[in-house]
Chains A and B, each alone.
Chain A
């Protein structure tokens, strides 16, 4: 509430936009960076050891794709997560940065070395023309594999922290934030998932570079067989490990959630997701298993399109995983500390008693009156609801109340008021209403007004900001002197 509200009326809270950017980033990072680098380094090493020029050439060509994609879309979607969260939830990313500065700082250093190494590795590949130079070159690939895994290892700590801060809630210490209870299982899950999908990616792209030019000399077939046989092993081993870590991960979550009695219901939400996720994980791993066994048994017969099935299932699984992980965190953006609408846990009662408008920065009025009720309601919507809800669009308040009270009937304002004041009890993924009773009434008035006019709500990036003078209280005597 102390930042101008960037707001897109039809996509609600920007979760969709952050989600799209983040999912794209993860979909590139996991298979291409974390998964593929070690596999490609292995190929280069093997080629060097056994004098297989063709394997080296194939590894180089696939590295070219990885190089282009990771240094453009991959890098920019990573920055994009940051740029988009700083628009939609500056209070959250700003707080996380203060807690996690060292994590991000280390991640930055690792990221610099990752970028330098990928450029060095790829751009010097053809120049490594003696055995000594080749040995050194393979070591660059090894360092790159380690660094790209480390970037993920560091950032996963932040994700885990947001859901369950663990000891940090009491100690406010950086290391407690890093070693939160979900860290290791999530890291293991992601690591082997990355290797599994990375193997399928290398396998898939090798089809484009192993076409036979002459039927008499089936070099491509020989190369493909070599690759598929080995990648099948990688898929099989990673699959077992993904399953083990996935299992550990979801056995860790409910327990943690149970301990947190205020959001006990969330575990029910989670249980619903749990069974869905379990079956999706099962089917996806099944698809990878079939491919891996087929690759082991009759490698040359596995057609290109068959690899797309586990790939798409993998994308779906990962997307579902990220979405659910984000949802489970609610109503918090930082567990047990900061609600998703920028209200701190410890200031909630204060704001409910004093009023939200009085202490906000970008509002038109400080006090609800008969005349300004709808305008106040709009500001309250922007402050308290707009980080998740749109007005009439996606996840819109009109749609939600329509589901409850019926689209074709009049909505009972006193019923709506009761609902808003108690919604955190009935919809436990929503934060408590952070204002006083008059403000809740103003919000109801705005929603009723919105229902009839359906006027679009513009964000600060379009209509600018308005900041009513602060009332003369102890809080702001500086401006009144």
Chain B
């Protein structure tokens, strides 16, 4: 399959004519790493908001779950700020490395892309409202309202990642861009839904693991969580992580097998399957932990985190390898077109430089600056030349003075813009020509 065939229906833009500030390879490594840090906090924010809602719902029957929900809510408001601020790094890198594809995807899903700003703001305000009204809105209908606020925030957190995913997905398939008619139609390209499911499951799994460590750590103060002992909290959140990770063995293959062929390489399979193997190992250690006694549970926490990091790094690099392969022909074509445009431009400039310097513009050429508004006999925007010639007969200096800093004389006409930038000498030439043209024969 030749390059040209692959790109038959693909828009090939020219790249920006400025060099990258860092070597491309380094930028790509930074992109993968920064993105994983960002997505970790996004996971904790999204997963946290889901677990808060579930725990608060359980708390309607048993108070101890309600206090637990409150304790989780306190982590969400911190993680959400870190999710935003850690998002700037990967955004910076992706803008640089995939400038042409990324911004194009943004534009094609434009309204949704812009809506991120108000949607996230509202979601954040709701999480604060939810957290700071916990003790005040604790009874009766106020409690229902309180729960509803938590649900509203969660729903927003469930929707917003879809916008980012749509963009990340769309940028991979330039040959499909002509089919896109806004955000919702972009969801039909590639495999947004399996990616979304995989991401959501990862969010809950990560949050479970984080909370197992957060409440399970020796220094954590559990005095405000009556009814929960440390081993029990560890077990609850380990179980969440284990169950969802098990589900990932369904979502993962679904994601992999629905990927468009564009970027699939043997290397991708190697990375993903080794990642999955480590995932399996992680699951085994998790099961071991869950079976341990109250005294023993938690001793492998460090190991589980390390194994998860390996899995996440694997998935992150797999994702990057796919993107690279999918975009390679497009990137090459862009580079080719950018270079040949630069060559054509350079050739043009060389030819221009070879030509003799243009002579000083004569009065007729200079007058073109005025012709859009002043015609010989009719009023276009300003008065016709015949009228001007009458007013300034024998007084070209008067025209020059006026043109340097025009005022407003006629109420029915727009004010003339100043022409000081043409210089007095040129204005003088124009003025003389105007008087001549305006002479009534």
Question: Is B299 on the interface with A (CB-CB < 8 A)?
Answer: no
What is the bound-complex CA distance between A71 and B85, given in angstroms?
A: 10
Given contacts A79-B87, A112-B86, contact A475 B341 (CB under 8 A): yes
Complex partner residue of A104 from B12, B14, B92, CB under 8 angstroms: B92
Q: Is the interface of A mostly helix, strand, loop or mixed?
A: helix
| CB of B63 within 8 Å of the partner chain | no
C-beta contact mask, B1-20 vs A, less than 8 Å → 1, else 0?
A: 01110010001111111111
B81 adjacent to A75 (CB under 8 Å): yes
Tell yes or no: A312 within 8 A of B by CB: no
| B380 in contact with A415 (CB, 8 Å) | yes
**CB of B401 closer than 8 Å to a CB of A:** no
Residues of chain B at interface, number, CB under 8 A? 82
Report the bound CA distance from A118 to B348 in whole Å: 55
| Closest Cβ neighbor of B105 among chain A residues | A4
Contacts of B336 in A (CB 8 A): 476, 478
Q: Does A480 contact B (CB under 8 A)?
A: yes
> Is A111 touching B85 in the complex (CB atoms < 8 A)?
yes
Name the segment of A55-63, A190-198, A217-225, A455-463 touching the other chain.
A455-463
Task: Kindly provide the distance from the CB of B168 to the nearest chain A CB, expressed in whole angstroms.
Answer: 14
Give the docked Cα–Cα distance between A228 and B208 (Å): 49
Q: Which residues of B contact A349 (CB under 8 A)?
A: 348-349, 352
Assess whether B95 is in contact with A97, with CB atoms less than 8 Å apart: yes
* B422 touches which of A2, A68, A416, A425 (Cβ 8 Å): A425
- B21 at the binding interface (Cβ < 8 Å): yes
Interface size band for A = 35 or more
Q: A115-B82, A405-B380, A460-B107 are in contact. Are A98 and B117 (CB under 8 A)?
A: no
Establish whether residues A3 and B110, one from each chain, have CB atoms under 8 Å apart when the complex forms.
no
Cβ contacts under 8 Å, B341 to chain A: 359, 475
Bitwise, A384-414 to B at CB < 8 A (1) or not (0) is: 0000000000000000000111000000100
B181: Cβ under 8 A from any A Cβ: yes
Q: Is A84 positioned at the interface, with any CB of B under 8 Å from its CB?
A: yes
Write out, one digit per residue, whether chain A residues 98-126 have a CB within 8 A of any chain B CB (1) or not (0): 11011011001001100110010001000
Which one of B19, B117, B128, B381 lies within 8 Å of A83 (CB-CB)? B117
Contact pattern, B 78-92, Cβ under 8 Å of A = 1, otherwise 0: 100110111111011
Q: How far is the CA of A5 from the CA of B13 in the complex (A)?
A: 13
- Evaluate contact between A418 and B368: CB separation under 8 angstroms: yes
Chain B residue numbers with a CB within 8 Å of A112 are 85-86
Q: Taking each of A72, A101, A265, which has the highest tally of chain B beta carbons within 10 Å of its own beta carbon?
A: A72
* Interchain CA distance A154-B116 in the complex, whole Å: 25
A344 and B17 contact, CB distance less than 8 A: yes
Cross-interface CB contact of B337 among A79, A91, A476, cutoff 8 Å: A476
Is B114 a contact partner of A474 (Cβ separation < 8 A)?
Answer: no
Specify the chain A residue showing the minimal Cβ separation from B178. Answer: A465
The verdict on A436 contacting chain B, using a C-beta distance below 8 Å, is no
**Complexed CA–CA distance, A83 and B114 (Å):** 7
Indicate if the CB atoms of A461 and B110 lie closer than 8 Å.
Answer: yes
Query: Inside 8 A of A479's CB, which chain B residues have their CB?
Result: 4, 7, 12, 333, 337
Contact assessment for B420 and A264 in the assembled complex, using a CB-CB cutoff below 8 Å: yes
Q: Interface majority SS on B: helix, strand, loop or mixed?
A: helix
Q: Which residues of A contact B180 (CB under 8 A)?
A: 464-465
B96 at the interface (CB under 8 A from A): yes
Q: In this assembly, does A419 line the interface, its C-beta being within 8 Å of a C-beta of chain B?
A: yes
Bound: A77/B87 CA distance, A: 14
Q: Chain B residue with minimal CB distance to A17?
A: B114
Considering only CB atoms, which chain A residue lies closest to B181 in the complex? A464
Q: Is B125 an interface residue (CB 8 A)?
A: yes
Residues of B close to A361: CB separation below 8 A: 11-14
**CB of B372 within 8 Å of the partner chain:** yes
Question: Is B178's CB under 8 angstroms from A467's CB?
Answer: yes
Q: How far is the CA of A467 from the CA of B180 in the complex (A)?
A: 13
Are A428 and B421 closer than 8 Å at their CB atoms? Answer: yes
| B117 with A465: CB separation less than 8 A | no
The yes or no answer to B182 lying at the interface (CB within 8 A) is yes
Q: Does A80 contact B (CB under 8 A)?
A: yes
Contact of A362 among B11, B15, B179 (CB under 8 A): B11
How many angstroms between the C-alpha atoms of A264 and B381 in the bound complex?
24
CA A104 – CA B88 in complex, angstroms?
9
Residues of A within 8 A of B85 (CB): 75, 108, 111-112, 115
Q: For residues 435 through 481 of chain A, which have their beta carbon under 8 Å from a beta carbon of chain B?
A: 459-467, 470, 473-481
Cβ-neighbour of A77 out of B113, B117, B368 (below 8 A): B117
Is B417 engaged at the interface, CB distance under 8 Å to the other chain? yes
Could you tell me the distance between the alpha carbons of A359 and B14 in the complex, rounded to whole angstroms?
Answer: 9
Cα-based distance from A462 to B158 in the complex (angstroms) = 24
Q: How far is the CB of A77 from chain B (nearest CB, A)?
A: 7
What separation, in Å, do the CA atoms of A75 and B116 have in the docked complex?
13
Complex Cα–Cα for A2 and B99 (A): 11
Query: A234 vs B380: C-alpha distance in the bound complex, in angstroms?
Result: 58
- Nearest-neighbour CB distance to chain A for B170, whole angstroms, equals 11
Chain A residue nearest to B412 in the complex (CB): A406
Q: Is the CB of B372 within 8 A of A418?
A: yes
Asked whether, in the complex, the Cβ of A72 is within 8 Å of the Cβ of B124, the reply is yes
Q: Once bound together, how far apart are the Cα atoms of A346 and B103, in whole Å? A: 24
A410 → B minimal CB distance (Å): 11
Which chain B residue lies CB-closest to A476? B337
Give the residues in chain B near A323, CB-CB below 8 Å: none
> Which residues of B lie under 8 Å from residue A83 when comparing CB positions?
106, 113-114, 116-117
A369 within 8 A of B: no
Pairs A-B, 7 closest by C-beta atoms = A461-B110, A419-B372, A2-B13, A101-B21, A90-B103, A80-B117, A467-B11
Q: List 18 A-B contacts (CB under 8 A).
A: A2-B13, A2-B100, A17-B114, A82-B91, A87-B107, A87-B110, A98-B96, A108-B85, A123-B78, A265-B418, A362-B11, A415-B372, A416-B372, A459-B110, A461-B110, A464-B181, A479-B12, A480-B4
Which B positions have Cβ atoms within 8 angstroms of A? Answer: 2-4, 7, 11-22, 78, 81-82, 84-89, 91-92, 95-96, 99-100, 103-104, 106-111, 113-114, 116-117, 120-121, 124-125, 128, 177-183, 332-333, 336-337, 340-341, 343-345, 348-349, 352, 368-369, 371-373, 375, 380-381, 414, 417-422
- Name 8 extra pairs, CB < 8 A, besides A3-B107, A83-B113: A4-B108, A68-B128, A94-B95, A94-B99, A104-B92, A261-B421, A422-B372, A459-B110
